[in-house]
Structure 1
Amino acid sequence: MLQVKGLSTRHGSLQVLRRVTFHVARGEIVSLIGANGAGKSTLLRTISGVHKPSEGEILFMDTPIQQMAPERIVRLGLVHVPEARQLFPNLTVLENLELGGYLYGRKHVESALSDMFEMFPILSNRQRQKAGTLSGGEQQMLSIARALMAKPRLLVLDEPSMGLAPLIVEEIYRTVQTLQQQGTTILLVEQNAMGALAIAERAYVLETGRIVLSGKAAELMEHDDVQRAYLGKDYQHKWEK
């Protein structure tokens, strides 16, 4: 579904991504893990059209998208949930959701809203509340729901567990697994390696702008370098697929 080939991205004179190559197949959850500053968010912003690469190719559904505007990429079905939620805080929950589906018109929005309120009942209860007054977990649910309003084939999640309590993180990850079961392909980018590897089929490790490890998520979870850098020697498996 997604092929990234030799992708490099710069911020001014700073080289952030260095010939990154990876792929996501239809129906997978693929995790991309790495420390803060590894280039994870820059990679996602490049894939979704916010940044333009200095070299390389991005194919989505066999269509080159590396020079496309972000709204065209969304129309193709690749939708990005950004780091730190980035909601419209002074708009209501309902208005944020409506903006997520604006590309497809009122009829679609009305139908999709019903689906979102079924998936996230708390948002139905809060729909007239301003987004900025929600808890962190509720904001993350709203951010995911807003993205789902755009009918993604591939949902790209940037650090969805950031700043959330462990019980809320579990709920978010269960939601990600449910979305996969319903047919949405997921690219999950996380510093939370434990949770990300536990729910993914495959994974990649990004360090200083380069892919340094890749393979089945369960195998990477047992890799000495991954355990030492991200999981800690006392790590115990917590999640069930």
Structure 2
Amino acid sequence: MLKVVNVSAHYGPLPVLRRVTFHVDAGEIVCLLGANGAGKSTLLKLISGVMKPSEGEIFFDGVPIHGQAPERIVRRGLVHVPEARQLFPNLTVLENLELGGYIHGRRSLSPGLAEVFDLFPILFERRRQKAGTLSGGEQQMLSIARGLMARPKLLMLDEPSLGLAPLIVDEIYATVQRLHASGTTVFLVEQNAMGALDLCRRGYVMETGRIVLAGSADELADHEEVQRAYLGRDYRHKWER
């Protein structure tokens, strides 16, 4: 579904990504692990069209999308939920959700709202409340729900656990599992390796703008460097795969 081939990117003269290659198949949850500053968020910006690669190619459903405008990429079904929520804080929950679905027209709003309110009942209760007054966990739910309003085939989530309490993180991850079970392909970008590896079947590790490891979740969890950098020696899986 998503194929990234030898993609590089620069901020001015500074290289940020160096010939990154990976893929996500339809129906998968694939994770990308990496420390802060590894280039993960930059990679998502390239895929979603917010930035342009300095070299390389990006394909979605077999169609090249590098160089396409972000709104065209969203129309194809590839949706990016950014790091740090990036909501419109002075708009209500409902208005944020409506903006997420605008690209498909007003007729699509009612069924889309029904689906996200079923997934996140708290957002229905808060629908008239300004987004900036929500808790951190509620804002993350709203950010994901806004992305779902665009009806994604593939949902890219950038650090959805960032800054949240463990119980809220578990709730967010359980939601990701439900989305996947309903047929949405997920590309999950995280520093929280323990949570990510418990969700996905397969993943990649990025360091200083390069993919340095790839394998199944079990292989990555058992890898000495991943354990040292992210997991600790007492890591154990929490979820049944």
Query: Which TM class, normalised by the smaller chain length?
Result: over 0.9
Paired AA for residue 164 in structure 1: L
2:18 partner SS: strand
Alignment of 1:1-241 (within 5 A): 1-241=1-241
For the residues of structure 2 that align with 1:153 and 1:42, how far apart are their CA atoms?
21
3-state DSSP of counterpart to 2:97: helix
Shift of 1:136: 0.3
Task: Decide whether the 8 Å contact of 1:98 with 1:109 is kept in 2.
Answer: yes
Equivalent position SS for 1:150: coil
Superposed CA offset, 1:143-192 (max 9, x none): 00000000000000000000000000000000001000000000000000
Structure 2 stretches lacking a partner, 5+ long: none
| TM-score normalized by the length of structure 2 | 0.99
2-structure distance, mates of 1:240, 1:199:
9
CA distance in 1 between partners of 2:89 and 2:173 (Å): 24
Report if aligned partners of 1:85, 1:143 keep a CA contact under 8 Å in 2.
Answer: yes
Identity of aligned residues (%): 71
C-alpha displacement at 1:218, in angstroms? 1.4
Determine the C-alpha separation between the residues in 2 that align with 1:83 and 1:38. 14
One-letter identity of the residue aligned with 1:187: F
Offset at residue 107 of structure 1 (A) = 1.3
SS in 1 for 2:105: helix
4+ residue runs of structure 1 moved beyond 6 angstroms? none
Q: CA deviation at 1:237?
A: 2.1
State the alpha-carbon separation in 2 of the partners of residues 133 and 195 from structure 1: 27
1:232 maps to amino acid: G
TM-score by length of 1: 0.99
**How far apart, CA to CA, are the structure 2 residues paired with 1:218 and 1:122?**
34
Distance in structure 1 (CA, Å) of the matches to 2:35 and 2:109: 37
Cα drift, residue 133 of structure 1 = 0.2
Write the letter of the residue equivalent to 2:131.
A
